[in-house]
Structure 1
Amino acid sequence: MKLKSFNRFSAYARAESHLVQRTYFGAIVTVLGVILAIVLFTNELQEYRKPFSIQTQMSVDTTRAHHIRMNFNFTYPAMPCQVLSLDATDSSGQRSGDSGHAANGEIHKVRLSKEGERIGLGEYIPPRRWGFMLGKPRQEVMEVNQAMDAHEGCNIFGWLDLQRVAGNFRVSVHVDDFFALTRTQESIAEALQAQLSHMDGGMHAIQLQADTTGINSSHIIHRVSFGPTYPGQVNPLDGAERILQKESGTFKYFLKVVPTEYVKLDGTRTKTHQYSVTEYDTVVHKGEMQMPSVWFSYDFAPISVTITQTRKSFAHLLTRLCAVIGGVFAVTGMLDRWVHRIVTAIVKASG
């Protein structure tokens, strides 16, 4: 008697079998509903089995760190190491030169043949600077021209500690190296000779048009990053290739650096940076007083991004499964009832 009284709390009343009507369309809807439920069930299970998912949050940057590390790796297939330099400066006035082992970083160079193969076992060590290139020993001048004639390339890589202020760095040809090149010295001699031949007793200014179009600024960016890496990080410039066939030019990259914190499942935090980039290039024509180069201008965004690894709990999986399966059968049941009513109404109207 008590059990029968308790039965009235059941939300799932069952009709007698002779009162139940089964239809052809109801069978189709049921089969489709089961298939859909299995597909959604499998999808939820796969999502749960993933090691982690990512949540991203943005906030105002309150970091007070003074320095960040920039890592770089470039290849210049048409310019030898003897003439390449990397110079960095920022809005605070700090400068970094191409000295092999800079005070705030390291710069390494490896000579490459025109086929891209490494020349020698060690890296290229720049000779001691003596000032303007025209005053350098003849042997050093000959080495520069021999490297140019052999179409050597250079792989320049390393890191620099930068202050958290706007700045730029560029890779270009030493000005004194440019004037040491054989073709440049020949153009100077031609200008002098032409000027002397046209002198009519008066003093004339020498008109020298520096030809920098022979400097090929083609480059391959293997890596440009700020700070340590984290899983799934994408650096937009990594793998970029800018190859010039005939003309020479200047490339400029504008980087917006965003402070980023990556939080793993175990709570380990990695403070680093990611960046976005825009770029443009200009062609350097003969006679223009512009040295072909590659510029990187960077600035820091006022916001920071926090990337957090998260993992769904088993209770969350059960909740999702119940919602998916229950929702599928609720929708298919509602669809079956609508179709049944429509069909019944049509039959009555025609009868």
Structure 2
Amino acid sequence: MKRLDLSRISAFARPEEHLTKQTLHGAIVTLLGCTLALTLFCHELSWFLGAKGVAKMEVDLRRRHDLSIFVDISFHAIPCAALSVDIMDASGTADSDVNFAAGAHLHKFRLDASGRRISKAAEYVQPQTQRVLREGSSTVMSVDMEAAMRHIGDMEQEMGAHEGCRLRGDVTVRRVSGRLHFAVHQQSLADMLPQMLSGHVLPRVRNISHAVHRLTFGPSFPGQVSPLDGTTRIEAANGGGHAYKYYIKIVPTEYTTRFGMLLETSQYSVTEYAMPLPHRHAHS
């Protein structure tokens, strides 16, 4: 009876001894092969890391989602209690952070007279002095007098200390033409009413000095240029004040990474106007 030899089915068969002999020719072929592989690897790596950006422009006919605007602006002479942000667009939407607009996630931080953040003061929370009540097809503005008086007290205190405000956060708007308006509360009738009833008359804010730390439309991407970033406008202490208007044109942008990931964002261009403020108005 023959003995079963399991070594015949081994998948790791050893080559013959004459095939494993190392020679000079084999060493030369090995070095040439390694050199060629290393050269090709370095070439592909340099091409991958040094890829050039390609820009392409085309007409945008798609209906896109809402636009997210990120703002980071310091107002050197407008206290947080006096600063409001109004959102208006061509579709008829009009909202404000006073009414706690659903699309606005803005944070206000108090600054001292030197422009430094007041460490003892937490984020300033705006009292909700106004409420929009909708009754059928009509809209009625309701003023909370208690909250309004508390708001006036905040403005008096911050104006007396010559405070400023840093506004930071994001606002979601529709993709239609509109305005993002940084204003002073006391200019509206609803805000002036508590002052007239209580006998408090707050001084008008006319110094609209500001610094734009960052303004973007949509997610950031490598190589993005934001024309307003770093813009600073300082008013003279005894000047008459100016209204600064920035007309911005937004261009939808698609950024594709070298890994094929698509990022939908926007770029913009800007035109700036500065007009002297009339004595009866003060806004930015």
Q: Distance in 1 between matches of 2:146 and 2:48?
A: 69
Quick one: structure 1 residues 183 and 224, their matched pair in 2 at CA, closer, same or farther if it must change by over 3 Å?
farther
Matched, 1:74 2:65: no
How far did residue 66 of structure 1 move?
3.4
Quick one: structure 1 residues 152 and 178, their matched pair in 2 at CA, closer, same or farther if it must change by over 3 Å?
farther
Unaligned runs of 5+ in 1: 1-46, 187-210, 294-351
Secondary structure at the residue paired with 2:201? helix
Quick one: structure 1 residues 100 and 111, their matched pair in 2 at CA, closer, same or farther if it must change by over 3 Å?
farther
| Contact residue 66 and residue 173 of structure 2 kept, 8 A | yes
How far did residue 56 of structure 1 move?
0.7
How far did residue 105 of structure 1 move?
2.8
| Contact residue 210 and residue 234 of structure 2 kept, 8 A | yes
Matched, 1:146 2:157: yes
For these two proteins, the number of residue pairs brought into alignment is 223
Q: Distance in 2 between matches of 1:241 and 1:145?
A: 26
| Contact residue 83 and residue 183 of structure 2 kept, 8 A | yes
How far did residue 117 of structure 1 move?
2.1
How far did residue 133 of structure 1 move?
9.5
2:253 aligned partner: 260
Q: Distance in 2 between matches of 1:70 and 1:141?
A: 30
Matched, 1:283 2:276: yes
Q: Distance in 2 between matches of 1:233 and 1:218?
A: 26
Q: Distance in 2 between matches of 1:105 and 1:162?
A: 9
Secondary structure at the residue paired with 1:144? helix
Q: How does 1:1-351 map to 2 (within 5 A)?
A: 50-99=49-98, 101-119=100-118, 120-129=120-129, 140-174=151-185, 175-176=187-188, 180=195, 185=201, 212=204, 214-245=205-236, 246-285=239-278, 287=279, 289-293=280-284
Quick one: structure 1 residues 103 and 278, their matched pair in 2 at CA, closer, same or farther if it must change by over 3 Å?
same
TM-score, scaled relative to structure 1: 0.57
How far did residue 140 of structure 1 move?
4.0
| Contact residue 182 and residue 283 of structure 2 kept, 8 A | no
| Contact residue 76 and residue 155 of structure 1 kept, 8 A | yes
Quick one: structure 1 residues 218 and 132, their matched pair in 2 at CA, closer, same or farther if it must change by over 3 Å?
farther
Secondary structure at the residue paired with 1:88? strand
Quick one: structure 1 residues 184 and 219, their matched pair in 2 at CA, closer, same or farther if it must change by over 3 Å?
farther
Secondary structure at the residue paired with 1:148? helix
Aligned CA-pair RMSD: 3.2
